[in-house]
């Protein structure tokens, strides 16, 4: 869960890079012949920026979600919920994510065990028109609390009629392999059970984990986990690499991490769910390279680097790779925020969402 004590990250170097086809545009003749409304139906989808939320809950998911191949480059923020934000705070933040940054998603991080909390997430996401990567958080305190969280979340996904329209993925996390929260085979079983539970809602199931978590558990069957998940939520935190220097100089490390998932992920869609560079160090967030620099400039330069490589993210992996910025605010996780604890942006942040 905490990605801090990442001791040795001696990862292999992979040369192959998957390049997936970008979906073709609608046939021009079809476009010309279609009337305005059907054209609108064909081009507008949740959670694209130009989508207008319906006034009532649709009867089916047909043509609801945007193709995952349009979800590349910047897709949104990791958003920590340990503070158990009120519904109004969630609404305000989610709208800000959509309007200020053109974010299409939040990826939840941490846990809030308040009754009805996920309903608040769903309502706030619905109002803002953004999607959610929901999370079953393991945590350290109680080795069994994740089971209660799992059951609560699954039940809410079924009972809240809006939930399946905003929940893009269910994650087990964070870093359950790296943290030895479950054995690889128990985690695989849990993924398969969750997939069966959610099949009628068409919600993909994944694990939020770094390459190193899979690599260190390879002998324990971590490939079965990769085979079982529907999509890949990858942790990319190059600051902790033994090779780390500056945010702007981390592209080869980023590619190495991503290539692990391209090479072992069977062409599945990849999102960088926990992805960033801290602006400060403190116990628990310390580099493994003496040359790694943590400051606001390097945090900013890291995201600039990703933004600069938009064309790579458009075509890489299983139909483009989307990246989340970790994390929305320093109030949620010190040093990683786009906003400081004073509520002001730490640096200008407006990454491209298409290119
Ligand atoms: C709306 O956004 C989607 C996804 O970003 C895009 O594919 C589509 O062309 C846009 N439609 C219009 C009418 O601008
Ligand atoms: C999914 O799991 C939840 C929580 O355990 C349960 O309440 C619900 O009945 C299950 N639904 C299906 C379709 O398996």
For residue range 302-347, what is the model confidence (pLDDT) as tens digits? 999 999 999 999 999 999 999 999 999 999 999 999 999 999 999 9
Is 352 touching ligand 1 by the criterion CB < 6 Å? no
Contact 179, 1 (CB under 8 A): yes
Which residue has a Cα nearest atom 8 of ligand 2?
155
Query: Under the phi-then-psi rule, with left for phi > 0, alpha for psi from -120 to 50, and beta for the rest, what region is 137?
Result: beta
Instruction: Please indicate, yes or no, if residue 6 is contained in any of the structural domains.
Output: no
Instruction: Please indicate, yes or no, if residue 300 is contained in any of the structural domains.
Output: yes
> What is the chain's length?
355
Average pLDDT of the residues of the chain: 90
The contacts of residue 107 (CB under 8 Å, 6+ apart) are 76, 77, 78, 79, 132, 133, 135, 171, 208, 233, 271, 273, 274, 324
Q: Contacts from 287-291 at CB under 8 Å and sequence distance 24+?
A: 287/239, 287/240, 287/244, 288/6, 288/7, 288/8, 288/9, 288/240, 288/241, 288/242, 288/244, 289/241, 289/242, 289/243, 289/244, 289/245, 291/244, 291/245
Instruction: Please indicate, yes or no, if residue 264 is contained in any of the structural domains.
Output: yes
Instruction: Please indicate, yes or no, if residue 157 is contained in any of the structural domains.
Output: yes
Instruction: Please indicate, yes or no, if residue 337 is contained in any of the structural domains.
Output: no
Phi, psi (rounded to 5 degrees) for 38:
-70, -30
Evaluate the CA torsion angle 275, 278, 282, 285 in order and state its sign.
positive
pLDDT digit string (tens) for 6-61?
A: 433 333 333 223 333 333 333 333 333 333 444 444 569 999 999 999 999 999 99
The more confident residue out of 30 and 354 is 354
Instruction: Please indicate, yes or no, if residue 22 is contained in any of the structural domains.
Output: no
Whole-angstrom Cα distance, residue 341 to residue 25? 44
Which residue has a Cα nearest atom 13 of ligand 2?
197
How far, in Å, from the CA of 155 to the mean position of ligand 2? 6
Instruction: Please indicate, yes or no, if residue 221 is contained in any of the structural domains.
Output: yes
Whole-angstrom Cα distance, residue 121 to residue 119? 5
Phi, psi (rounded to 5 degrees) for 302:
-65, -45
The ligand with the least distance to the CA atom of 42 is 1
What is the model's pTM?
0.88
Query: The CATH number of the domain where 164 resides is what?
Result: 3.20.20.80
**pLDDT beyond 70 at 279:** yes
Phi, psi (rounded to 5 degrees) for 103:
-75, 140
What confidence score (pLDDT) does residue 148 get? 97
Q: How confident is the model at residue 225 (pLDDT cuts 50, 70, 90)?
A: very high
What confidence score (pLDDT) does residue 17 get? 30
What confidence score (pLDDT) does residue 2 get? 43
The mean pLDDT of 212-227, rounded to a whole number, is 97
What confidence score (pLDDT) does residue 141 get? 84
Is 43 touching ligand 1 by the criterion CB < 6 Å? yes
Which residue has a Cα nearest atom 2 of ligand 2?
154
User: Which residue range(s) make up the domain with 160?
Assistant: 71-325
Contact 239, 278 (CB under 8 A): yes
pLDDT digit string (tens) for 154-211?
A: 999 999 999 999 999 999 999 999 999 999 999 999 999 999 999 999 999 999 999 9
**pLDDT beyond 70 at 295:** yes
Question: How many structural domains compose the chain?
Answer: 1
How far, in Å, from the CA of 208 to the mean position of ligand 2? 22
What confidence score (pLDDT) does residue 30 get? 36
Instruction: Please indicate, yes or no, if residue 95 is contained in any of the structural domains.
Output: yes
């Amino acid at each position: 869960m905490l990605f801090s004590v990442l001791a040795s990250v001696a990862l292999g170097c992979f040369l192959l890079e998957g390049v997936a086809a970008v979906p073709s545009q609608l046939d021009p003749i079809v476009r010309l012949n279609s009337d305005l409304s059907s054209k609108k139906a064909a081009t507008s989808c949740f959670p694209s920026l130009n989508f207008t939320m319906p006034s009532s809950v649709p009867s089916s998911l047909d043509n609801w979600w945007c193709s995952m191949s349009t979800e590349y480059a910047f897709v949104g923020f990791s958003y920590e919920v340990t503070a158990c934000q009120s519904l109004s705070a969630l609404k305000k933040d989610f709208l800000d994510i959509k309007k200020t940054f053109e974010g299409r998603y939040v990826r939840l991080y941490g846990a809030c065990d308040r009754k009805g909390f996920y309903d608040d997430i769903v309502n706030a996401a619905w109002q803002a028109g953004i999607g959610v990567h929901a999370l079953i958080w393991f945590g350290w305190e109680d080795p069994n609390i994740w089971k209660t969280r799992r059951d609560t979340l699954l039940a809410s996904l079924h009972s809240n009629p809006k939930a399946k329209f905003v929940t893009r993925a269910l994650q087990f996390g964070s870093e359950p392999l790296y943290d030895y929260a479950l054995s690889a085979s128990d985690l695989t079983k849990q993924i398969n059970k969750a997939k069966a539970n959610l099949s009628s809602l068409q919600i993909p199931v994944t694990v939020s984990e770094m390459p190193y978590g899979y690599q260190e558990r390879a002998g324990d069957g971590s490939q079965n986990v990769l085979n079982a998940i529907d999509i890949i939520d990858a942790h990319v935190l190059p600051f902790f690499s033994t090779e780390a220097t500056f945010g702007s100089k981390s592209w080869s490390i980023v590619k190495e991490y991503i290539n692990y998932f391209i090479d072992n992920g069977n062409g599945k869609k990849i999102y960088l769910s926990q992805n960033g560079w801290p602006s400060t160090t403190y116990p628990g967030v310390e580099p493994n390279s003496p040359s790694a620099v943590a400051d606001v400039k390097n945090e900013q330069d890291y995201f600039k680097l990703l933004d600069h490589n938009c064309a790579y993210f458009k075509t890489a992996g299983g139909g483009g790779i989307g990246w989340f910025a970790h994390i929305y605010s320093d109030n949620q996780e010190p040093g990683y925020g786009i906003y400081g604890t004073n509520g002001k942006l730490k640096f200008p942040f407006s990454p491209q969402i298409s290119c």
